[in-house]
Each structure stands twice: as structure tokens, then as C-alpha cells.
């Protein structure tokens, strides 16, 4: 039986792109997703891109019995763990839901992996663990300071992984801290597919551009930034997917380099872009103005910053290759294609 890589949350935005990248690199992904913020039909579109659709198991990482069966029935070599809730505002309003899904779900998954003897784990973490650092670029050594339950849930999982690897040194763990993944696959067949109102800037402005929403709300205009709006490090989702492939390919090399079987790496472009700058760039690519309204800051939002990406470049040879304009163009193409493929029920 050919071994596979279990990709939890594999039908989602970053997960689906990573599945394509894995297949193109010769790996066999096995998707596990509860479809709470994704769509099972993505498998058909993945097949159109790669020529062969990956298997999708519909289920939740909190379902211990399901995980036990999955690890018993499948030859799984390692896990890339994307499954998790990710909306900052929702996490402020529903902290228990976020801790249950993101923390308890990960612990349940790790317990199933341990029982099956599968101890290679790549975790989808977030730059929200840094909160609002005093300066940028942010290195991986910056202190934890999450400003919301979402970021806190990521911090908790990171600390659990460090404790686990310390207690059981045969675990191999990579923690990838994403900044702001945006864009879509060049085919226009997969991209960010939020259920209902988008929580992230790029899908929202795309929906305004194609007439699905009236105006883009810019939340906060008096942050301590050059133009008063929040700053983010926007990185193309395809570059993020490639970072996972590099991590899988270079795991043994990285362990040798860092002298321990776990590593934390930032995944970003290493550049800060404000909300206003992104809107200006978007309008340049789109060729038209996008209606904008001022809105109050959202609870839990950080001023934002950008990444120091020297470590991931040094350890696995990865740097983001796509520009913000390329990310915008691909996101627009996906938004238009999505209307044809899925509609907007």
C-alpha cells in the first residue's frame, strides 16, 4: 500500500492548494475535512488540475473513533494539519468554540497519531501568535502576545507540540506561522471559498468588485501606521503551498541543521502592505474604483506587521515568488470563475 500524507482541512483554501502542490511533487494526499467552511466539490476541481482527484474523508478531527479507523486502515506517513477555525472576530465572540475546535481537535489528532506510531507533523499556525509586536520584520524568536482567542488557540497548540516533542523526542514537528495567504491557483478552479460573509479582506474586496457586495468596509483608520490603516504581510497561497512541500522534502535536512526534531518558520513575503495600499493595488489590477466606507476597528484585530523570512529561506530554500498584483489577479479570476462553478447561494 502506498503511503500517504493526511491533510486535515484539505478541502479548504490553503489545504486544497497544498494538495495540488503535493501531488505535483509526487506525494499522495489523503484529505480529511468536516466541510464547515469548505465544499466537497473541490475534489472534482482538483482532479481537473492534476489529472487525479485525491480521496476525501468527510469527518472531524475531534472524532477519535474516526481517526482510529483512519490510521488503522490507511498507510499514513505524516500529517499536515490545517483543520481549524480562523476568524478573529468570531473567536472573540465564541472563544469556547475556537478552543474546542482548534486545541482539543489537535490534541485528539495527536493522540490518534501517537497510538498509530505516526509522528511526523506539520502544523498550520499563524502570525497572530505575535500580536502587535513593537517592530518589523518579526523573527520567529519574537515573544508570544496573541490579542484574541484565535491567536491564543494557535499559541496553545504550539506549546503543546513543544512539550510533546520534548517528552517524546522521536516526534518530528514543523510549525509554519502564516501571515496573510491570498490569491488563488492559476487555473481559476480553486481559491478562497468562505461560507457567507467573508472575514478576510481579499475575498471581500473581490466580491465588491464583481457586484456581490455594495462596499468594502475599511476597519480602523487611526492605527499607528503611515496611512492609519492596518498593515499585513500578504503572501500568495501558491507560495504558501510550496512552503509545505519544501518542509516535507527537507524535513531530515532541517532536523540536522537545527539539531532538534522540531522547527518554527515564518511564511510570508517579508513586506508590509496597508489596507489602503492593497485597495489601491487592487483597483490598479481591476481597472476600476472599488466603493469603500470607513468602519470602526473590529474586536481582536491587530495593527499588523510583516515577517522576517530568513529562517525558512535558509532551512528549506523557500521564498515567496509571486507579487501582490499577481495574487490580486488570481483572486479576481477565481471569484469570477466561482460564480460559474458554485454560485453564491
Residue 343's pLDDT is 59
Kindly report the backbone phi and psi dihedral angles of residue 289, in degrees, each rounded to the nearest multiple of 5, phi listed first. -75, 150
Mean pLDDT by 10 residues, the chain (345 residues): 89 97 97 94 96 96 98 97 94 97 98 97 97 91 95 98 93 96 96 81 92 90 89 97 96 77 92 95 95 87 89 96 97 86 59
Task: Output the CA angle 200-205-208, nearest 5 degrees.
Answer: 130
DSSP run (H or E) holding 216: strand 216-219
pLDDT digits (tens, 9 = 90+) for 266-306: 999 999 999 999 999 999 999 999 999 998 988 878 787 89
Among residues 310, 4, 19, the alpha carbon closest in space to that of 185 is found at 19
C-alpha cell at 311: 529562517
Cα–Cα dist 219/56, whole Å: 37
pLDDT of residue 252: 82
Q: Is 172 helix (H, G, I), strand (E, B) or coil?
A: strand
What is the DSSP secondary-structure string of 225-250? STTSS-EE-EEEHHHHHHHHHHHHHT
Per-position b or e across 8-33, b if 16+ CB within 10 A of its CB? bbbbbbbbbbbbbbbbeeebbbbbbb
d(CA 80, CA 248) in angstroms, rounded, equals 9
Quick one: cell of 302?
491587530
Q: Which of the following is catalytic: 27, 99, 150, 223?
A: 150
CATH code at 4-182+236-268+308-321: 3.40.50.720
306 is catalytic: no
Give the closest residue to 160 by CA, choosing from 143, 179, 173. Answer: 173
Four-residue CA torsion sign, 131, 134, 139, 144: negative
Amino acid at each position: 500500500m502506498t503511503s500517504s500524507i493526511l491533510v486535515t482541512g484539505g478541502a479548504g483554501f490553503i489545504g486544497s492548494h497544498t494538495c495540488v502542490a503535493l501531488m505535483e511533487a509526487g506525494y499522495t494526499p489523503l484529505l480529511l475535512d468536516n466541510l464547515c467552511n469548505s465544499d466537497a466539490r473541490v475534489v472534482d476541481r482538483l482532479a481537473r488540475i492534476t489529472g487525479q482527484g485525491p480521496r476525501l474523508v468527510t469527518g472531524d478531527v475531534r472524532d477519535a473513533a474516526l481517526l482510529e479507523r483512519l490510521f488503522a486502515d490507511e498507510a499514513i506517513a505524516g500529517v499536515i494539519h490545517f483543520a481549524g477555525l480562523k476568524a478573529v472576530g468570531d473567536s472573540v465572540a465564541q472563544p469556547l468554540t475556537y478552543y474546542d475546535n482548534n486545541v482539543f481537535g489537535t490534541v485528539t489528532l495527536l493522540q490518534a497519531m501517537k497510538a498509530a506510531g505516526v509522528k511526523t507533523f506539520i502544523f498550520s499556525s499563524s502570525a497572530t501568535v505575535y500580536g502587535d509586536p513593537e517592530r518589523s520584520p518579526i523573527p520567529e524568536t519574537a515573544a508570544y502576545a496573541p490579542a484574541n482567542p484565535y491567536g491564543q488557540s494557535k499559541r496553545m497548540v504550539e506549546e503543546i507540540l513543544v512539550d510533546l516533542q520534548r517528552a517524546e523526542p522521536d516526534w518530528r514537528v514543523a510549525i509554519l506561522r502564516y501571515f496573510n495567504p491570498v490569491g488563488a491557483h492559476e487555473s481559476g478552479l480553486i481559491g478562497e471559498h468562505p461560507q457567507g460573509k467573508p472575514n478576510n479582506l481579499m475575498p471581500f474586496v473581490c466580491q465588491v468588485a464583481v457586484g456581490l457586495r455594495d462596499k468594502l468596509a475599511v476597519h480602523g483608520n487611526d492605527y499607528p501606521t503611515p496611512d492609519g490603516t492596518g498593515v499585513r504581510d500578504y503572501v500568495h497561497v501558491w507560495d504558501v503551498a510550496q512552503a509545505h512541500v519544501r518542509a516535507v522534502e527537507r524535513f531530515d535536512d532541517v532536523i540536522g541543521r537545527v539539531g532538534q526534531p522540531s522547527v518554527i518558520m515564518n511564511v510570508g513575503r517579508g513586506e508590509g502592505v496597508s489596507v489602503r495600499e492593497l485597495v489601491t493595488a487592487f483597483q490598479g489590477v481591476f481597472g476600476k474604483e472599488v466603493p469603500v466606507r470607513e468602519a470602526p476597528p473590529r474586536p481582536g484585530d491587530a495593527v499588523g506587521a510583516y515577517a522576517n523570512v530568513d529562517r525558512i529561506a535558509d532551512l528549506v530554500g523557500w521564498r515567496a515568488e509571486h507579487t501582490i498584483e499577481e495574487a490580486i489577479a488570481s483572486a479576481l479570476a477565481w471569484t469570477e470563475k466561482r460564480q460559474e462553478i458554485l454560485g453564491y447561494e
